[in-house]
Amino acid sequence: MRRLSVLVLAAALLCGSPVAAQAPRPEGGEGTVHREQVWRLPHNADEGREIAAIVFRPAGDTPRPLVVMTHHTSGDNARNGEPRHGVYPHVVSWFVERGYVVAVVHRRGYGLTGGERAERFACRRPNHFAAGRADAADLAVVIDGLTGLPFVRKDGVIVVGQSTGGWAAAALAAENHPAVAGTINFGGGRRGRSGETGQACALDELVRDARFMGRRARTPALWIYTENDQSFGPELTRRMADAYRLAGGTLDFQLLPAFGRDGHALLPNPGGIRIWGPLVEPFIQKVR
C-alpha cells in the first residue's frame, strides 16, 4: 500500500497535477540588478489564478525579512497592464540596501498578473472595505508563498502600498496576518468618477470604511499623506485617520507639507526619499 501511494504521488507530480501546482515558481533567471526575478504564486481563493511578484534580493542566501510592495491604479488602463507597473527602482534599492527581500506585487487585473480585477467599484453603494480586502488577499498569497522559501524569513514582513495599493496595505493590517509586522500606506485610498455628473464620488465612504478597518486592525500601521495630495486632500485624510484610530486601530499618521506639484507622487518620485526615509526608517526598525 505504501509503495502504491508513492507511485501515485510521483505520477501526480510528473503530470503537473494540482499537488505540484501549489508551489511558488520562479519564471526565468535572476537579473543583474538586485537579482530581479519574476515569481508566480497560485491564488488560494481564486482557483486557477496566479499572482505575479517581481522579487529583488540582497546578495547571499541567508533568510532575509520581506517587504511586499504594491501599486497604484492609473487612469489610463493601458498603463495598469505594463509589465513593470509599480516598480520604483529607488524604493526597491532603499529596502534591499537595508537587508530586505522586496516583492513588487501585481494584484489581479494588473501588470504581469493580468486578467480580471478582483476589486469592484460603483459610485452608488460603494464598498471600499470589500475592495481593499480583495486586494489584501492578493498580498497575503505572496506573503504566504514567499515566506515558505529558504531565502525569506517567516516573520517580520513589511507591507508598503501607494494609492490604491496603500488602501490594500491598510486593509491587510485589518486582517492581522501573523507574519506581518507592520504596514505602510502612502497616499492610500480609492475614488471613482460619476458617469452622471463627472465629479469624484464616494470619498466620504472612505472615512466610514477606514472605521471598519480600524475596528479589526491590530497590526502597527504608518500612514503618510501630504498637504497637496490631489487625490486625497488633507481634510479627508485627517478624518480617515481619526476614524481608524478611534475605532481601535494602531496608527502613526503623518500629514506632511506639500511635495512638488502633487504630493500623491511622494513615493514614486525619487526626490521623496529624503522626506519619507526618516519616517520609515524608525518604523521598520521598531517592528523588525
Q: Is the model's pLDDT at 1 over the cut of 60?
A: no
Q: pLDDT tens-digit profile of 57-109?
A: 999 999 999 999 999 999 888 999 999 999 999 999 999 999 999 999 999 99
At residue 41, φ and ψ (nearest 5 deg) are: -130, 125
Pairing type for strands 157-162 and 66-70 reads parallel
Which of residues 119 and 239 earns the better pLDDT score? 239
CA distance 41 to 49: 9
DSSP string spanning 162-193?
Answer: ETHHHHHHHHHHTTT-TTEEEEEEES----EE
SS3 282: helix
How many CB atoms neighbour CB 283 within 10 A? 20
pLDDT band of residue 197 (cuts 50, 70, 90) is low
Helical (H) or strand (E) element with 224: strand 221-226
Report how far Cα 182 is from the mean position of its chain's Cα atoms.
12
- For the chain, the straight-line distance linking the first and the last C-alpha, in angstroms and rounded, comes to 48
DSSP string spanning 42-74?
Answer: E-TTSTT-EEEEEEE--SS-S-B-EEEEE----
DSSP string spanning 123-151?
Answer: SSS--HHHHHHHHHHHHHHHHHHHTTSTT
Q: Is the model's pLDDT at 237 over the cut of 90?
A: yes
Report how far Cα 246 is from the mean position of its chain's Cα atoms.
24
At 45 the pLDDT is 84
CA distance 63 to 269: 30
Q: How high is the mean pLDDT of the chain?
A: 90
SS3 278: helix
User: Which of 2-16, 69-83, 164-178 is most confident?
Assistant: 164-178
Q: How far is CA 174 from CA 65, 66, 136, 162, in A?
A: 21, 19, 9, 17
At 17 the pLDDT is 40
At 125 the pLDDT is 78
pLDDT band of residue 44 (cuts 50, 70, 90) is confident
